[in-house]
Structure 1
Amino acid sequence: MTTGRRIVLLDLFGVVARHQRPGALEKMAARCHVPADAFTTAYWTCRPPYDAGRYSAAAYWTDVLRGLSRPADADTVEELRLTDIDSWSRVDDRMVTYVRSLCERAETALLSNIPADHADAFLAAQPWLHDLEHIAFSGKIRAAKPDPAAFRHCVTALRAASADFLFVDDREENVRAAQAVGMNGHVFTGLEELAPVVDAWLRTG
């Protein structure tokens, strides 16, 4: 069931923003004096509760460091936290331009898996985000994709029906999860193929 609205709900990393800066994990591993593969495993193993707002940055990095048998002193934790935020700070300028133009003709919102402190930094650095109808950061709403609760949050926040949304993400599992709660979905591979898909979908409204 749809209310007749057309809301484009975008993922952030891999769509509008770029994935983690190459070499970042290796840089953080070197700071901790551990092998890159061991650091990478600890980094991602501990990540889900941090993304979903159930861990603070300090708790996350303490777990990572303890898992590597490294001391979790405050200076190391803060250095890693800031390096991590910087590693996820890049945007795709062409996509930002597209999103800003899209806001002029459609309701546009964002749903991203991102820790709360990363989200604060991103909001401060990217003022165009405030032009969106709604911003749902996992660390703020305490639900991360592909958890259905993340998608339902957007439906409730925008007082819409699930079928009013076209969800765009570069990960197929997240698109399938959105479709499972009744949203329309599109797997992002680039702006050239996204723009006509969005145009066609908006015309059906």
Structure 2
Amino acid sequence: MSPVIVFDLYGVIARDQTPAAKAEIERLAGVSADGVSGERFWEAYWACRPDYDAGQDSVAYWKTVETRLGTQLPDIPAVLEADLASWTEVDDAMVALVGELADQGRTLGLLSNIITDLVPRFEARHHAWLGRFDALTYSCRIGVAKPDPRAYEICAERLGVAPADIVFFDDKPSFVEGARAVGMTAEVFTSPDQVRAFLAQRA
């Protein structure tokens, strides 16, 4: 039986934030203008992210960032909007690979750490290729985020298979290790060609 293939979203199919998008977030957040360095801002942004990925309300998340920074953001709604907009671009080569694998009859899953407010925006823009997946598992909707073992287990349950039946690709080594810990075959993603070559070896 061909293994079920599960992809991470960001850093694999969807693109990470561009420098221009990050600069706009910094501008709206008042970085430097209020004495907060860009380095401190992004440290707080990512340190507070796990609860956000697991379903925390957006405003509550940004309030937590404020607390960590020890300052007030000038316009949380504007920062939130810029942040959401920064996570909507995709890698067309990977989207093509998803279609290619689906056309081969492969069972596909998506396991993403993603925030609640971003899901409808992302799905509205990319519903065509997202529809090629057999199961979409979003951290914000299951209440746990990678590398929590339950995130991988829930993904497998939704696909109707055991973790051992899954090949998982993620760009973050810690998330790959989390997948391996529950029994998945997992690889650090580098490119569409890497995925094709790896799957061809297992054919």
Alignment of 1:1-205 (within 5 A): 4=1, 6-34=3-31, 35-53=37-55, 55-71=56-72, 76-105=75-104, 106-127=106-127, 128-201=129-202, 203=203
RMSD of aligned Cα (Å): 1.6
Q: TM-score, normalised by structure 2?
A: 0.90
- Taking the aligned partners of 2:47 and 2:188, their CA distance within structure 1 comes to 25
Listed as ranges, the gaps of 5+ residues in structure 1 are: none
Aligned-partner SS, 1:79: helix
- Taking the aligned partners of 1:192 and 1:155, their CA distance within structure 2 comes to 25
- Alignment check: 8 A CA contact 1:25 1:40 kept: no
- Taking the aligned partners of 2:71 and 2:134, their CA distance within structure 1 comes to 43
Aligned-partner SS, 2:117: helix
- Number of aligned residue pairs: 196
Q: Which amino acid aligns with 1:113?
A: N
Q: Which amino acid aligns with 1:115?
A: I
Deviation at 1:80, TM superposition (A): 1.0
Aligned-partner SS, 2:103: coil
Deviation at 1:129, TM superposition (A): 0.5
Q: Which amino acid aligns with 1:43?
A: Y
- Alignment check: 8 A CA contact 2:112 2:138 kept: yes
- Taking the aligned partners of 1:26 and 1:37, their CA distance within structure 2 comes to 12
- Taking the aligned partners of 1:178 and 1:32, their CA distance within structure 2 comes to 35
Seen in structure 2, the aligned counterparts of structure 1 residues 60 and 107 have a Cα distance that, compared at 3 Å, is same
Deviation at 1:45, TM superposition (A): 1.5
- Taking the aligned partners of 1:72 and 1:31, their CA distance within structure 2 comes to 8
Seen in structure 2, the aligned counterparts of structure 1 residues 36 and 72 have a Cα distance that, compared at 3 Å, is closer
Deviation at 1:25, TM superposition (A): 3.1
- Taking the aligned partners of 1:56 and 1:114, their CA distance within structure 2 comes to 12
| Worse-superposed segment, 135-144 or 32-41 | 32-41
The alignment-based identity, stated in percent, is 36
| Per-residue CA distance 1:147-198 (angstroms, 9 max, x = gap) | 1111000111122111110001111221121111111112111112211212
Q: TM-score, normalised by structure 1?
A: 0.89
- Alignment check: 8 A CA contact 1:9 1:109 kept: yes
Aligned-partner SS, 2:131: helix
Deviation at 1:72, TM superposition (A): 5.5
